[in-house]
Amino acid sequence: MAKTLINVKPHPGQAEVHNSSARFKVLDCGRRWGKTRLGVMECLDVAAQGKRAWWVAPTYKMSEVGWRPLRGLAAQIPHVEVRRADREIILPNGGSVTVRSADNPDSLRGEGLDFVVMDECAFMHEDAWNEALRPALADRQGRALFISTPKGRNWFWRMWQLGQEDNGQWQSWRFTSYDNPFVPNEEIDAARATMPERVFAQEFLAEFIDDAGGVFRGVMAAATAEPQDKAEAGHEYMMGVDWAQSNDFTVLTCIDMTTNEVCAVDRFNQIDYSTQLSRLRAMYERFKPAAIISEKNSMGGPLSESLQQMGLPVQMFTTTNATKTEIIQALALAFETAQVRIPNDATMIGELQAYEQTQLPSGIWRYSAPDGMHDDMVMSLALAWHGCNNKPWLLL
Ligand SMILES: Nc1ncnc2c1ncn2[C@@H]1O[C@H](COP(=O)(O)OP(=O)(O)OP(=O)(O)O)[C@@H](O)[C@H]1O
Ligand SMILES: [Mg+2]
């Protein structure tokens, strides 16, 4: 391996990952564990075999973090060619390592690869992997190393989970910052004293924190609702609808207002009008909700009108930053105070846990799914819950 060419020894955790024969390795580590160092060593190792490797960072600026040690380590190899402008290192045997950044998807297209490292990949768009890097590995049956500190439960978490299942191709690890013998434990303890426990657990212990810094807390505890096939006698129901935009899902959510449980969810991405209307109608017939709170975005307007013409009790909801903030905060409060229960549905739980808030410079909050993730289950649920709270059907 590269360590025979260059004078670097992996520490025990790095060696363990290196020695695994899995094709796709997912490495969840605390800050300063030696993630970047391992990624760079693995790339040089592949290049030393005459093969082609890429080192990919989330942004151009962050790619400097890899390019610097890569250049430094490569300088120890005789007759190596360092192409600064292309940020590429070419070994005498023809093997190469190229540094790229995922914020420029076009730069990720092109040649077939033997190996790719994605450093801090929890901060990348999932599309970088699915649409650009995974296909580039296909013709050479290339391998991949996903490395990151966690960022809540986003796609990196899902990849890590794949590696926890015993399926041969994927393997995953978790290491804390304390596992790097080159960083003194006191340094990490000092950092711990300055930050909230949850942040420390994520950043240094590499824990995939349930609801890390997120909007909704107590999601897992709420996931105990039993699905219902049809309305129970004497119960009242409420529905919420988030219509698909171009590339996401239409989600119908029905809440049993007698128990505050989500009793039925339908999620689909056929966006032709007739499919959407007939699926909605089917759920309506099963539960006869008091009202259907329907988002009035570009497509939602005409669809909601069609439903009204069919005689369904549709109440339109216009989403603006202000109205969205209101219904999301009401839903967050419902989770925090354990008022609402949801089914144990991985997609719904994932969306709720990943949902983010950012405060704009003006002080206003903005709510959204992280880049690359959907929020249609969150919105549909928030609309239904809004209906439960505001009894708009009284106005119908
Ligand atoms: N095998 C090794 N031998 C010597 N030093 C190492 C080794 N691995 C890591 N280090 C040192 O540990 C420190 C952290 O390494 P690195 O930057 O690779 O970690 P990281 O997990 O990517 O950190 P960050 O979270 O800041 O991105 C650096 O000073 C690096 O030189
Ligand atoms: Mg790093």
**CA 104 to ligand 2 centroid distance, Å:** 20
Percent of the chain with pLDDT over 70: 93
Give the list of residues 6+ apart from residue 266 with CB closer than 8 angstroms, or none.
251, 252, 279, 283
pLDDT digits (tens, 9 = 90+) for 279-336: 999 999 999 999 999 999 878 999 999 999 999 999 999 999 989 988 998 898 899 8
Residue 370: strand, helix, or coil: coil
- The predicted-structure confidence for 231-265, as pLDDT tens digits, reads as follows 999 999 999 999 988 778 999 999 999 999 999 99
What CA–CA distance (Å, rounded) separates 390 from 372?
Answer: 32
CB 44 within 8 A of CB 76: no
Average pLDDT for 82-104: 93
Q: What is the pLDDT of residue 361?
A: 64
- pLDDT band for 1, please (50, 70, 90 cuts): very low
For residue 343, the one-letter residue type is P
pLDDT of residue 7: 61
Ligand 1 and 32: CB distance under 6 A: yes
- Integer Rg of the chain from CA: 25
Q: Ligand 1: which residue has its CA nearest to atom 4?
A: 182
Residue 174 tokens read as: 């978790």
Q: What is the pLDDT of residues 183-218, one digit of tens each?
A: 999 999 988 877 667 778 888 999 998 655 578 888
Q: What is the pLDDT of residue 195?
A: 64
Q: Please tell me the distance from the alpha carbon of residue 379 to that of residue 244, in angstroms, as a whole number.
A: 11
Q: Which residue segments constitute the domains of the chain, with CATH numbers given?
A: 12-213 (3.40.50.300), 219-395 (3.30.420.240)
Pocket mutation for ligand 1, best pick of 37, 70, 118, 145 (most atoms within 8 Å of C-beta): 37
> Which ligand 1 atom is the nearest neighbour of the CA of 37?
18
Instruction: Report the greatest alpha carbon distance in the chain.
Output: 81
Cα of 110 from ligand 1 centre, angstroms:
30
Alpha-carbon separation of residue 183 from 69, 78, 176, 188, 387 (angstroms):
17, 30, 11, 8, 53
Measured CA to CA, the distance from residue 390 to residue 240 in angstroms comes to 13
For ion ligand 2, residues whose CB falls within 5 Å:
35-36
Residue 209: the pLDDT is: 81
Q: Which pair of structure tokens corresponds to residue 168?
A: 């041969």
pLDDT at 3: 42
**31 Cβ below 6 A of ligand 1:** yes
Average pLDDT, the chain: 90
C-beta of residue 365 within 8 angstroms of C-beta of residue 223? no
**Does pLDDT of 149 surpass 60?**
yes
Residue pLDDT, tens place only, 113-147? 999 999 999 988 898 999 999 999 999 999 999 99
Distance 8 CA to ligand 1 centre (A): 12
